[in-house]
Amino acid sequence: MRDIAVGLIGSGYIGKTHTIAYKAHTSVFGGPANPVCTALADAGQARADEAATRLGFGRAYGDWRDLVAAPDIDVVAIATPNAMHKDMALAAIRAGKHVYIEKPLALDAREAREIAAALEGTALVHMLGYNYLCNPIIGTLKALLDAGEIGEILHFRGRHNEDYMADPATPWGWRCSRALSGSGTIGDMGSHLISMAMHLVGPVAAICGDIQTVIAERTDGTGKVRAVENEDQAHALVRFRSGAMGVFESSRIAQGKKQGLAFEIVGSKGSVEFDQERMNELRLYDAGAPAGRRGFKTILVDTSCPDFGAFCPAPGHGLGYNDLKVIEVNRLMRAITDGAPVPVNVFDAVVIEEVIDAWLASAAGRSWIDLPPGA
Ligand code: NAI
């Protein structure tokens, strides 16, 4: 089996999740290729050395440019704050490396299109970290929708709400900065919701949003009070190209929601409900059931769901968040080895950025925005 040398940039929250996934991948899936934690880069040599030792990477770089230039690296994985994605991705693509980029792809659609343009005409694999699409039960849900089991999709009501910034005492961080993050909760979590809605219902045709910054200032790690420059909460009315209606909601100050990516899809013959906090189950309502027997039933993940059996032969023995990354890494390995499609590539991610930009623009202009054809 071929080894694939991974160079990871960034060793924070999601950098660790990446590492867990690279290390677990081959024992879970047995192939088709073996990701090897070859090099890690972080901001400065000391931080990189510490992280490479702790996480188990072969060598460390204090400057990410050196990692990108290293001839033995096959894939550059970008797990840094959003503002760095573009330059890192462009450098990696120019160096002929496959790229695995955390979401959101960039600060905005203009930057995202620059990355996409650099990929035109290359044979490089490119994948985004929209890991929630890799949930085996979401695979079953997608198949069920495509087979028409709930009929025509009429409505999608989704939210990705968490409470990691609900406490005003939570320090100012890069996610509060326009320059480092771009948007706030929309890019951070709304992007996951948009990717899910597009995966299940199809492209968004138009959006009318509203946004709000509730906690206007926070104190940073040095004790300095700083402005929060992007939105804490947001919602939007949506029209999909299929004609279906939708409602999106995203908040980083939603008390009590921990991993609150959840949605309901209403069809002409039934409905489905999903909540990432109960990520191993799906709730399905069949309007064709006999009177007196109609109601939502709960379906637990089992080996009929894509990829679940690679982890465990036993139905209902659930997976966790980190396992979604293992599945995502397997998609990357399959794409590199066999040319298999990935869940979200850079071109798909450009469209997600266009929806984010339109959501923000519609909020600023207090009006509906039509997405460009093809978006
Ligand atoms: P974090 O703040 O925990 O980690 C960022 C890492 O980047 C740190 O190790 C930091 O030292 C490093 N870094 C900063 N500047 C650097 C530079 N110039 N060169 C090299 N390394 C540098 O951030 P977190 O939460 O891991 O987010 C990183 C990215 O991952 C973001 O784009 C975020 O949206 C995405 N993310 C995705 C998640 C998912 O479920 N797919 C979950 C969490 C984050």
- Sequence-distant (6+) residues with CB within 8 A of 87 are none
pLDDT at 368 (0 to 100): 98
CA distances from 356 to 88, 173, 209, 312, 313 (A): 21, 21, 10, 37, 39
* Rounded distance from Cα 204 to ligand 1 centre (Å): 28
For the record, the structure tokens of 351 come out as 């469209």
Nearest CA to ligand 1 atom 38: 14
Number of domains, the chain: 2
Q: Is residue 374 part of a domain?
A: no
Residue 314 belongs to a domain:
yes
Q: Is the dihedral of CA 108, 339, 373, 242 positive or negative?
A: negative
My answer on whether 124 and 141 are in the same domain is no
Ligand 1 centroid – CA 181 distance (Å):
10
The whole-number pLDDT of residue 374 equals: 72
In this structure, what CATH number is given to the domain that contains residue 260? 3.30.360.10
Atom of ligand 1 nearest to the CA of 88: 19
Asked whether residue 300 is assigned to any structural domain, the reply reads yes
The Cα 344–Cα 334 span in angstroms is 14
Taking CA atoms only, the protein residue closest to ligand 1 atom 17 is: 43
* Closest ligand 1 atom to 188 CA: 34
Residue identifier of the C-alpha nearest atom 44 of ligand 1: 14
| 3-state secondary structure (DSSP) of residue 267 | strand
Domain span holding position 316: 132-369
Instruction: State residue 372's pLDDT score.
Output: 87
Model pLDDT, residue 157 = 98
- Each residue's pLDDT expressed in tens, for the chain with a length of 375 residues: 999 999 999 999 999 999 999 999 999 999 999 999 999 999 999 999 999 999 999 999 999 999 999 999 999 999 999 999 999 999 999 999 999 999 999 999 999 999 999 999 999 999 999 999 999 999 999 999 999 999 999 999 999 999 999 999 999 999 999 999 999 999 999 999 999 999 999 999 999 999 999 999 999 999 999 999 999 999 999 999 999 999 999 999 999 999 999 999 999 999 999 999 999 999 999 999 999 999 999 999 999 999 999 999 999 999 999 999 999 999 999 999 999 999 999 999 999 999 999 999 999 999 999 998 777
Give 78 Cα–ligand 1 centroid separation in angstroms: 8
Query: Based on the number of CB atoms within 10 Å of its own CB, is 320 exposed (0-12), middle (13-18) or buried (19 or more)?
Result: exposed
Minimal CA–CA distance to 121: which of 84, 86, 96? 96
**CB-based pocket (< 6 A), ligand 1:** 9-15, 41-43, 47, 64, 79-82, 84, 102-103, 129, 131, 188
CATH of the domain at 63: 3.40.50.720
Task: Tell me the whole-structure pTM to 2 decimals.
Answer: 0.98
> Best substitution site from 14, 54, 131, 135 to test ligand 1's pocket, by max atoms within 8 Å of Cβ?
14
Q: Are residues 193 and 97 in the same domain?
A: no
Helices (H) and strands (E) counted in the chain, each on its own, are 12, 17
Give the Å distance between the CA of 84 and the centre of ligand 1: 9
**Ligand 1: centre distance to CA 102 (Å):** 8
319/192 same-domain check:
yes
Q: Whose CA is nearest to atom 21 of ligand 1?
A: 42
